[in-house]
Amino acid sequence: MAYTINIRQTVALPLKETFERLSDHNQLGPLLGLPCKRVRDGEDAINGLGSVRTLGVWPIEFDETVTGFEPNSRIDYRITRGSPLRNHRGTVAFAASGEGATQVSWDIEYEIALPVLGMLIKKILARGIGRGLDKIGR
């Protein structure tokens, strides 16, 4: 079964700072409430295209690989190891919004065979990302 999550939230930080915080794999963990570390540097930037981050702790951890990277504009990623989710893809888009604020659009698509688990994961991800975006604006 396919699921989508669409989060639209304004962050009370300038575009460049918001992008820097959300693109830095090693800073992402505290924002999302789970361990996160960069395990492979990107081709064009340390956290850029081709970089890999590991989220979670053993035995429940997974890797996300950055598949698209446009500084101060967009980050695309997909889960490449360790998740029961199939075809998981995420996009985080950034746009200046008002005086010193940033509009963040975070879209996720994934598939999972168990509907109950799919809905639970959707709620957990949406809540965790929303709280993380609240944190960086403080």
* Global confidence as pTM: 0.93
pLDDT of residue 57: 85
pLDDT for 68 beyond 90: yes
Helices within the chain (DSSP H only): 15-23, 25-32, 115-136
How far apart, in Å, are the Cα atoms of 127 and each of 52, 91, 123? 23, 17, 6
pLDDT of residue 19: 97
Count CB atoms within 10 A of the CB of residue 124: 11
Mean pLDDT on 68-84:
95
* Lowest model confidence (mean pLDDT) among 71-75, 83-87, 93-97: 83-87
Q: Give 6's pLDDT tier (boundaries 50, 70, 90).
A: very high
